[in-house]
Structures are given as structure tokens and as C-alpha cells.
Amino acid sequence: MDKMQCTCGHVNPPGTVLCESCGRSLTEVEQNKKLVDMRYEGTARRSQTYNKSIIDKIWNFFSSVKVGVSIIVALLVSAAVGTILPQEQYVAVPVRSDAALEAYYSDVYGSIGKVYYFLGFNDLYNSFWFIALVGMLAISLIVASLDRFVPLYRSLKNQRVLRHSSFMNKQRIYAEGSAAPDSMEKAEAKLKELKYKVSTDKNGLLAEKGRFSRWGPYVNHIGLIIFLFGVMLRMMPGFYVDETLWIREGETRAIPEAPGYTLENKGFDVETYTGENEEAKFGEALDRVGTVVKNYQTDVVLYKKPEDALPGETNLETVKEYPIRVNQPLKFDGYAVYQMDFKKDELKTMTFALTNKATSESLGNMTIDLINPEKEYTFDDGSVVKLLGYYPDFSGFENGEPQTKTPLPNNPGFLIEMKTPETPNGETSFITIQNTVEPFGDNDYKLAFQSVETRDVSGLTVRKDRTLPILGLGGLIFMIGVAQGMYFNHRRFWIQQTADGEIMLAGHTNKNWFGLKKDLDQVKEYAALPAYTDQQEEIEKLEKEEAELTS
């Protein structure tokens, strides 16, 4: 493409629509239009002008708004697909492995789940292609903005006051006619009063207001880029922690991803509305909907180890005690621990009575702590129950050997030996819930189940997010850009007085033509300018009439 020389002598970059200097239309298409295309001030978008090396080709690809919109649509569609089935981090599988996840998706969701997993949608938002799409959006934002911002900035910065009449009379707002000799001065005074910046040159003036509104979209894009940068930082180690910690009542656990910190669960509680006393006003509502939870709370103690302490050492220092409630996380050192989930009533202890099977006479009770069982349980009369084996989550026998499938007391099994004064040689028995096996023949004694105690499990989320200020800044800049572009307009008037006293006037704004006309009405009245027409409206009116005639 060649440089384009205007009849005024100015040399324009290839692809320019309106001469940068005088505003004459440079292309034939443009010359035949009734109104000029003022987008980007008629400058050449840089991407359309150079198309040489491979870098330029890539650049031009991303500069295209069509490509940008396609990327956004692709992102929206894939983000939506990711919500059809739960993502893998929200799926409850006992042991996290690819095989377990695959089985989960096909078991729970059938063939759809199978396909979903096969296509990798189970972890869609972390897939390379999704991140690549977001990255392409970032490239598109930056490249497209640069390609448009730079020429627009240059063109607005180097605006000429005097424009060619063909530029003026193709503006949407246009007026021409005779006026008083002092019209120019009066117009200038009034425009200044209306807070326009006025520059004059020979017989003409240019009044301008709110140019910064033109930068709105670019400010907006800067905000988005900062936001995306913040999201990118989340993937770097140390910036973002989002871990789940299941902690049982009475347990003390190291906090994941928070080295040196340990948490103890003192107790978990779910409180519901009673509908009594001061809650009586809720009575009616409670009758209607049933139980309503008032509070989920885990009472915790936070411990910190001294700086030089080793993992596993138990010299913990109490930092604080705190009741973690929904939306009232435990906060420390940039971390926040939230109440997220719970499981009620996991087995904690089981109480049995050592009972003579024939007489049903009890020799007393024993309580087995399922979390920390003892080896022996002695009774007042000298009887002893010895625990030979403990299987917290009994899952059957293998080669005659009882098995446990998890370390949690979901289905406790005990292999015990009972010695009483009557049976000094001991009797062996294998006990599970509601089932007793006596492997060496009939016993005289049995452990009769009495009661259980349970404990709750609290599901906490450990979160740290060092990217929040960056995301906030990005969001703020984004909003500033939106406000800048939406609530302010760039208004301009060009006025020229020819030697014979005729006035030529053109007006342009990027939005809110009504506001522009209101300004012009005031100027016109004060300076006695010729009446103006809205040429866009004229054209529309004509087209409408033509359409009516032909129909």
C-alpha cells in the first residue's frame, strides 16, 4: 500500500480515510458518502496497513475485533460447559486418583459423565486450552487497543482548527449561512462559558470538550489486563491457597499450606432457631418451613510453632482461641479459615457390658475410645477384656485376617479376649456392629453393646489470596474506564467565517447528540449563528419517505 497524499499536500499513512490535516475524504467510497465516518477520526488502524512478516500477521490476527469477539464467545461457551457437571475439586472421592475420578464420573453421571471426563472437562478451568484462550483474550485486548489507541491519540493531539469544507459539510451537525460580523467572537465567548477548550486559527475556531472520554475503552482494557494478571498470579506458588481441612472434634491438625501453624478442633455445633422467647416472632415461619439453622460454629485453638521448631515437634504455642462461624473466619498471617462443611455423628466411643450369656448377668461396662483404644479393660471382679485387634472400618476377612478399608471408625471391628474368674483360659470373640463371631466355639460370655458416643467433623477451608489487591485495582480501573467512556462525551465544534461574512459550522460528538445540540442551541442564540441541521435525521427522514413512496 502506498502513502496517500491529499490535495492539501499532507501525506497520510496508507489506509487513512480522512486526511489527517484538512479532513478531506481520501477514498472514493468516502467521497461519495453523505456523512463522513468519524470512527477513530478516519485514521488508519495500523493493523490494516502493514502485512508483511509473520509477526505482523500474528499481530493483525489479534488486532481484529472479529477475532476478539470470537475468543470471548469461545470462552463463554467453554466456561458454561464447565458448569454442566461439577468440577473435580468439588467431587467427593475417598482417595483422589485419576482412576477414582473417572469411576466417579461414569458411576454418577453415566455415559455423559464418561464423555465429560474423557474430554477433560472435569478440570476445565485449569486445562491448558482454557488458559490459552484467556491468554489469547489478553493478547487480543492489548494488541487491538494499541492498534487503535495510538493512531487515535496522535490524530486528536494534532488536530487542525481549519478543516476542508468537504469535511465540515459531511458532519452530522452542519450549518451554513450569513451571520453578524461579531458572531465568531461571541461564539467563542459562549463556548468558553460552556467549558469548551477553544483554539483559533486565522478565520476559524475549534471548540472541544471531554476528549478524555475517548480513552474510556482503553482504560477499561488496562483494568481487564491487570485483572487477568492477578488471576495469573494465583497459579504461582505462595500467592493463592485454597485447601480443605477436615478436622474432627478433639483432633489437632497441621494446617495445609500454612507451615508452622496447627489447629485444634475443640467442638463443632449446629444451632437451630427454637422459635421460643425472643425468637417467638419466627414461630410462624418455622412452622411453615421446618428447622432453620441459626449458626454453624467450630471452636478452635490456633497454635504456632517456634521459628526453629521441626515438623512433628509438639512444643506448640497458643496463638488464639476463636469460634469460626460462617462468614466469620479465623484470620492470621494473611490466611483465613472458613466454616464450610460438616459431618455429624461419626463414632467416637462404644460402650459394652461384659455379660454372661446364660444368666444375662453383667460384670460391668467398658468403653472403647475408637480414636485411641486401650490394650486392656479391667473390671472390678478381676475380669479382663484384652483388645487383640482393632479394625476401625472393617471390610471383611482376607486369609482369615480382618481388614480395615480406611482409618476412620465407620464400621469398627474388635478382636477381643475375655477372661473372667469363671473362664480363666479366656474366650475369643470378634465383634462388629450388631454381629459377633466366636471363632473357637461357643463362649460363656459376650460383650453386649450398650451405647455410643459420637463426634462431629468440621469441614474448614483454608484460604490465602495475595492477589486480591491486584484484582481490586483491576476492577477499579475497569470501572473508571467504563464511567469515563459512558458518562462523558467528546464534543467538538468547528466554525469558520469566510471573507464574505458567511459562517460554516460543524459539530461532532462520540455519543449523546442531544447534549451536543443543547450546547449548540445556546451558542447559536447568543452569537446569532445560522440554523443547523442534523443531517443523519435528514437522511433517515428521506429514506423513510422514499420507502413510503415505493410501497
Judged by CB under 8 A, the residue of 1, 8, 29, 58 near other proteins is 58
SS3 track for 507-535:
EEECCCHHHHHHHHHHHHHHHCCCCEEEH
Contact 443, 426 (CB under 8 A): no
Minimum Å distance from CB 6 to other proteins?
A: 17
- Binding piece for other proteins, criterion CB under 8 A, among 71-79, 273-281, 330-338, 405-413: 405-413
Cβ atoms of 270 and 343 within 8 Å: the answer is no
The C-alpha cell that represents 28 in the structure block: 472514493
Which residue, 153 or 526, is less far from other proteins as judged by CB? 153
Name the residue nearer to other proteins (CB basis): 142 or 319. Answer: 142
DSSP one-letter code for 280: G
CA count, 13 A, side-chain hemisphere, 49: 16
Neighbours of 504 (CB within 10 A): 20
Asked if 417 touches other proteins (CB under 8 A), the answer is no
Least distance (Å) between residue 103 CB and other proteins: 16
Q: How many residues bind other proteins (CB under 8 A)?
A: 52
Q: How far apart are CA 547 and CA 115, in angstroms?
A: 55
Q: 2 or 500: whose CB is closer to other proteins?
A: 2
The residues in 455-484 that bind other proteins, with binding defined as CB under 8 A, are: none
**All cell numbers assigned to 136:** 489469547
Q: What is the dihedral of CA 142, 148, 150, 153, to 10 degrees?
A: -130
* Least distance from other proteins to the Cβ atom of residue 65, Å: 18
Among 317, 341, 374, 381, binds other proteins (CB under 8 A): 374
Quick check: 97 binds other proteins (CB under 8 A)?
A: yes
The pattern of x and - marking residues 486 through 525 that bind other proteins according to CB under 8 A reads: ----------------------------------------
> Is 138 a binder of other proteins (CB under 8 A)?
yes
Determine which residue in the list 38, 48, 50, 426 makes contact with other proteins, applying CB under 8 A. 50
129-141 burial by CB neighbour count: b if 16+ within 10 A, else e?
Answer: ebeebbebbbbbb
Interacting residue with other proteins among 311, 400, 421, 441 (CB under 8 A): 311
Q: Which CA distances in Å does 425 have to 322, 415, 444?
A: 53, 16, 12
Rounded Cα gap, residues 290 and 153, in angstroms: 64
Interface residue list for other proteins (CB under 8 A): 50, 53, 55-56, 58-59, 95-97, 126, 128, 131-132, 135-136, 138-139, 142-143, 146, 232, 235-237, 252-256, 259, 262, 310-314, 371-375, 387-390, 392-393, 403-407
